Amino acid sequence: MKASSAKWRWLLVPVGLVASAALAAPAAPLNLPDFDALAAKATESVNISLDTSLLGLAAGFLDPSNPDDAATKELIAGLKGIYVRSYTFDGGFAYPSAQVDQVRKQLAAPGWQRLVQTNSTRDRTRVDIYVSVDRGLANGLAIIASEPRQFTIVNIVGSIDLAKLHRLEGKFGVPKLDLPPESRDGKPGK
Amino acid sequence: MSEGVENNQELERRLRSVLGAVDPGEGFAPRVMARVAAGAADTARPARAGAVASWLAFGLAASVVLAFLLAHEWQARRLEQGREARRQLIEALRVTDEKLDLAYRAVNTREGGAPPEHSGV
C-alpha cells in the first residue's frame, strides 16, 4: 500500500498539494449546474454535497480507534467541502457540454490551474484535473471525467493530501485497482 | 308518697323551663348562613390548593416526558444524519480516487508509463 501511494507523487509534487496547504484560504466551492436532465437518463446517480458542517458531522461518526476511520478523519481535517456529481448510463449518452462549459468557465478564473488533461480517443475518455492555488498553496481540487458510460465532476474545497486519499484504496469500497506491479510502484510500465 | 309526686312535678317543671323554646332574636337566619358560608370557604381552600398542586405535578411530569421524547427524537435524527454523512463522505472519496486513477492510467498510457514529473504548473 505504501508503494502504491507513490504513484500519486506526479500529481502532488508540482503544486505541493500536501497538508501544508492548510495555511491557504480555501477556494470557494464551484457552482455546479443542475444535471437533472442527465440524472433522469442515468441508471445510477451520485449527488453528494458535503459542506463544512456535514463534513464535521461525518467526522464525528468516524471511529478514531479504527485505523481506516482515523486515516479518513486525518484526510478530511483540512477540507471545507466535497461535492460530487456522477452519472452512469446503460448505453451511450450525450455529453452535457453546456453544463460542463459552465464549470470550465469557473475553472478558467484566476486561481485555478489545469494540472492534468488526458484525452483518449481510443477509450473515449477524457479527464481534466484542476487545482486552486493561493499564494503557492493548493486549496482546492476539481476533476471533470467523461467516460463512455459515465460522467463525473468532483470538487474538493480545502487542502487534501492525495497520497493519504490513495492509502485508503481498498478500504470502505474504495476500489483497489489491479495495476501491474511496476505501475503500482510509480515506475514506468513499459 | 305525695312527696315523691311533688318531686316529679318539680323535676318536670325544671325540665320544661330549661328545654323550652327560646326566641333566637332577629338576624338569626342570616347569622347562621354567614357561618355556614365561612365554614365552606375554610374547607374548600385546602381542596383547591391540592388540585392546583396535582395539576402542577402532572404538568411537570408531562413536560419531562415530552422533553425526553424530543431529545430522543433529535438524537435519533442526528444519528441518522451522521451515518448518512459518513456514507456520503466515503462514497465521495471512493469516486475521487477512482477518477484520479483513471487520469493516472491515461497519463501512463500516453507517456509510455512515465508519470509526468512536472505538469507545467
- Given a cut of 70, is residue A190 above it in pLDDT? no
- Given a cut of 80, is residue B58 above it in pLDDT? yes
Q: Best-predicted range by mean pLDDT among A130-139, B95-104, B111-120?
A: B95-104
Q: Is A72 on the interface with B (CB under 8 A)?
A: yes
Single pTM value for the model: 0.67
Mean pLDDT along residues B78-94: 93
Confidence of residue A174 (pLDDT cuts 50, 70, 90): very low
Percent of chain B with pLDDT over 70: 88
Query: What integer pLDDT is reported at residue A11 of this predicted model?
Result: 55
Range list of H helices, chain B:
2-19, 28-110
Confidence of residue A138 (pLDDT cuts 50, 70, 90): confident
A182, three cell numbers: 511496476
Q: If we measure between CA atoms, which residue out of A28, A27, A45 comes closest to residue A36? A: A45
Domain range list for chain A: 2-169
Q: b/e string for B53-77 if b means 16 or more Cβ within 10 A?
A: eeeeeeeeeeeeeeeeeeeeeeeee
A residues 78-107 closer than 8 Å to B (CB): 82, 84, 86
Partners of residue B80 in chain A, C-beta under 8 Å = none
- The answer to whether the Cβ–Cβ distance between B89 and A46 falls below 8 Å is no
Please give the Cα distance from B58 to A157 (Å, whole number): 53
- The answer to whether the Cβ–Cβ distance between A75 and B121 falls below 8 Å is no
Helix (H) or strand (E) holding A142: strand A137-147
B117: helix, strand or coil: coil
Partners of residue A115 in chain B, C-beta under 8 Å = 119, 121
More confident: A119 or B66: B66
Q: pLDDT digits over A20-33, tens only? A: 444 456 677 898 98
Domain range list for chain B: 29-110
Query: What integer pLDDT is reported at residue A169 of this predicted model?
Result: 56
Q: pLDDT digits over A31-73, tens only? A: 898 888 888 889 999 999 999 999 999 999 999 898 888 988 9
Please give the Cα distance from B32 to B39 (Å, whole number): 11
